[in-house]
A = this chain, B = another copy of it.
Amino acid sequence: MELSVETLMITTGGSRIAVLSEQTASQLGVHSSDRIKITYNNQERIAIANTADYFPHNRIGLYREAVAALGVKEGETVDVQLAPLPESLFNIRAKLHGERLREKDIDAIVKDVVERHLSTVEIAAFLTALSIHGLSTAETEALSRAMIGTGKTIDFGAGPILDKHSVGGIPGDKTSMLVVPIVAAAGFTIPKTSSRAITSPAGTADRVETLCPVTLSIDEIKATVKKTGGCLVWGGSLELAPADDLFIQVEYPLGIDPMLLPSILSKKKAIGATHVAIDIPTGMGAKIKTRQEAYTLASDFVDLGKRLGLNIQCALTFGDQPLGRNIGPALEAKEALTTLMGGGPPDLREKAISLASMLFEMVGVENPRGMAEEMIDSGKALAKLREIIAAQGGNPNVEPQDLPVGPESAAVHAKEGGRVLWLSTDDIVRIARLAGAPKEKGAGVILHAKLGDTVRKDGKLLEVYAEKASKLSAALELANQLSPIVLSKKPEEKMVLDTIPEKTTHEKAFQLDR
């Protein structure tokens, strides 16, 4: 059926959507959410139909994505037909019924996700079914390969390509900002792509962005790595696994993360990594709560790595509290710099050295831990970070005190004295985000009391930093309501951690940051 095009200059943020009047749709035999085949200039494109009672007859409204895909203009004529249901939808339905999918079934789904042949409703059902039924090793491998196959890859040439990744989960984890320069300073190649925060107060890309640009093209990344051996860039715009970018959009409101393994390893494979250290923070304050869960995840990582030709080692790391003391993009960049300069909190230094030496061991360095320590203590890692900052377009001479934090800040004090019994990382995340992190880079929290520390009555528990006074006071109010740092002289004196329903809100934390 020939229809005249009306261009709707609005994006849908995902699927290609076309609007038809109820009458025109009914003539085509099309229901809302059916797929239609639009032909223009001998090109065929699939779109998903929305029907509307008020829309003019014999016209088709196309959102920006569909207009761009067809290259059509307002008022031009296109041919429109009901399209058959894509095979991939039957694969999704099979997964809903608990069936195992074959490699070609998964290929079809991922291809149709990337080509926008599946609606967000269908993607949501797929991810929900994966989350409930779980994935077999073969399915995980097929998903990883399909995601690599539909994305771009970067070739950094011969030699081992090292990489490090955290499954995410504890605030203040700026380890990558230390591991990359340590490894590159030792002469290895480590092209690190990172994410921005989704649910946390800072992602590595947010932290590094306070020092230099992180949105680099593939060519700029290659040049940086060629020059310095490493990089610290944002992976989000590189289309290394475009399917995953669409999956994340749907996972975020649902609070599910069934694609953790293929999501991470497809991106590692796409940049040609050969040796990868995976950090699995484990504990009350992390995404992974128990050791059992962490061991299972670790062995899944190692297995999947083998299948994909990646050499993987995992580290279960202490996840009962934030890493270091600073939380928020600029505050964390400051702490990372200070630690490379020989100061900083001991837990951050220890974790960075451990992960770097794990990588050194994997590639056969003789005294791996000694090598990692030497890179910091000699100042070589700091010099390497400055080289990377310069190569990415930042100021290599930046000093910790140059990074603007605040300017608004205030402290929260202890109402009684005691020893820190536990910290709620979820609450600390909420306070830092309410203060403005990660969007306002100077916002965040500095912890003055961590596990085991003793605090006097009226002593500082934490400081809140914000760019705006209104956000500072909102964050302070929340901090006083939530009491994220719990003190006690002895554990047995404070056995009740929370009472229900007295807790201020029921908002349950979900961490999508990887």
Contacts and interface: CB of A to CB of B under 8 A. Distances in A.
Interface of A: 8, 10-13, 19, 26-27, 29, 31-34, 50-52, 54, 61, 84-85, 87, 89-90, 92-93, 96, 98, 119-125, 127-129, 131-133, 198, 249-250, 252-256, 433, 436, 439, 505-508, 510
B13 A52 contact: yes
B254 A122 contact: yes
A506 B132 contact: no
Nearest to A84: B507
Contacts of A506: 87, 90
Contacts of A98: 132
A476 to B, nearest CB: 17
27 contacts: A10-B19, A11-B52, A11-B54, A12-B50, A13-B32, A29-B433, A29-B439, A31-B198, A31-B252, A32-B249, A33-B252, A89-B253, A93-B508, A96-B128, A96-B132, A96-B254, A98-B132, A119-B253, A121-B250, A121-B253, A121-B254, A122-B124, A122-B254, A125-B127, A125-B254, A128-B128, A132-B133
Task: Please tell me how many copies of the chain the complex holds.
Answer: 2
Nearest to A127: B125
B439 A122 contact: no
Contacts of A127: 125
Contacts of A249: 32-33
Contacts of A13: 32, 50-52
A319 to B, nearest CB: 21
Contacts of A253: 33-34, 89, 119, 121-122
Given A13-B51, A125-B254, 7 more contacts: A13-B52, A29-B439, A90-B506, A96-B128, A119-B253, A120-B120, A122-B124
A391 to B, nearest CB: 27
Nearest to A34: B253
A254 B126 CA distance: 9
A288 to B, nearest CB: 16
A122 B256 CA distance: 11
A45 to B, nearest CB: 19
Contacts of A54: 11
Contacts of A89: 253, 255
B27 A439 contact: yes
A317 to B, nearest CB: 26
A121 B510 CA distance: 17
A302 to B, nearest CB: 26
Contact of A120 (B121, B439, B508): B121
Nearest to A118: B253
A259 to B, nearest CB: 14
A505 B84 contact: yes
A92 B50 CA distance: 26
A508 B90 contact: yes
Contacts of A254: 92-93, 96, 121-122, 125
